[in-house]
Amino acid sequence: MSEITQEKMDQIKAYIDRVKQQPYPTSYLIAVLHYVQGLFGYVPREVMDFVAQEMNLPTAHIWGVATFYHYFNLKPIGKHVISVCMGTACYVKGAHDVLEAIKRELQIQVGQTSEDRLFTLQEARCLGACGIAPVIMIDGKIHGELTAKSVVELIHRYRKAARGKTA
Ligand code: FES
């Protein structure tokens, strides 16, 4: 998904050309970045330069907008995004152990993506499921009452599924 191809660059150019016909084209910058992230899964630095050139804006401005909104990913993300809740209820029930187990299993830190590009690890605040703490969310799906052991088993299931076997 993240590969920069001529076809995708042409699509971005076509999108920007449409935006340029609007009364205040620069006010569409967030929409353009949203479109870029939809194509690549993140906003690549090279594409920011291209957008800057096409929209007659300094790259620094685009960088500022992309970093201000946490919604935008500036690095490639994995197929699955794991958010570990570090809210109070989860923390008290062992979220720290769960997080450490995931970090060990994937050999990454929070904010990073595993080498096989399967998982990106994030921290979150209360995910609204305190009753089944500690909780993690994978691609929007909540998994609760986890332990260091069960979370590793869960990751194994996702790995197997990615290899085309039944989870
Ligand atoms: S504190 Fe983790 S779900 Fe509420």
Give the per-residue pLDDT at 2: 63
Helix, strand or coil, per DSSP, at residue 58: coil
Q: Does domain 80-162 have CATH number 3.10.50.30?
A: no
* CA dist list (Å): 114 to 30, 44, 51, 82, 119: 28, 18, 29, 11, 5
Counts of helices then strands in the chain (DSSP H, E)? 7, 4
* CA dist list (Å): 116 to 77, 97, 113, 155: 11, 23, 8, 13
For the chain, the domains span 6-68, 80-162
What digits encode the pLDDT tens for the residues 83-92?
999 999 999 9
Is residue 24's pLDDT more than 50?
A: yes
CB-ligand 1 contact for 95 (6 Å cutoff): no
Please measure the distance between the N-terminal and C-terminal CA atoms of the chain and give it in whole angstroms: 23
Q: How far is the CA of 114 from the centre of ligand 1 (A)?
A: 25
CB-ligand 1 contact for 129 (6 Å cutoff): yes
CB-ligand 1 contact for 66 (6 Å cutoff): no
Structure pTM? 0.72
Per-residue buried b or exposed e for 8-30, using 16+ beta carbons within 10 Å of the residue's own CB? beeebeebbeebeeeeebeebbe
What digits encode the pLDDT tens for the residues 91-131?
999 999 999 999 999 999 998 899 999 999 989 889 999 99
- Find, among 75, 77, 82, 56, the residue nearest to 140 by Cα: 82
Give the per-residue pLDDT at 166: 47
Compute the distance between CA of residue 8 and CA of residue 4 in angstroms, rounded to an integer: 7
Q: How far is the CA of 140 from the centre of ligand 1 (A)?
A: 14
Give the per-residue pLDDT at 75: 85
Question: CB within 8 A of 31, min separation 6: which ones?
Answer: 19
- Find, among 42, 63, 40, the residue nearest to 51 by Cα: 63
